[in-house]
Amino acid sequence: MIIENESYLKYLVYYIHHNPVKHGFVDDMIEYPWSSFLSVISHKLTHLKKQEVINWFDDLENFKYFHQKEHNLDKIKNLI
């Protein structure tokens, strides 16, 4: 499926990062060491194009804020 809307993309990123919390592996997504969430918020070098990901949310603070909120994922139900 082609993602044609940046809003969908943001919710998919959230969905992926929130999955370990949703399924009870951790209480907070920052606790899950195998997620790209940590790579995005870290200052460590990575192969992830993290600035591109951050730009989808405008800046790092908005990226973190978006991920702290609980979201209704009905908007992307057809993609997941």
pLDDT digits (tens, 9 = 90+) for 35-63: 999 999 999 998 999 999 999 999 999 99
Residue 18: strand, helix, or coil:
helix
Residue 78 has pLDDT above 80, yes or no: no
More confident residue, 43 or 71: 43
Residue 80 has pLDDT above 70, yes or no: no
Q: Output the pLDDT for position 66.
A: 93
Closest CA to 37 of 55, 65, 9, 14: 14
- Domain spans of the chain? 6-79
For residues 15 and 30, what is the distance between their CA atoms, to the nearest angstrom? 14
Q: Which residue has the tokens 């919390």?
A: 21
**pTM of model > 0.85:** no
Residue pair 63/40 in contact by the 8 Å Cβ criterion: yes
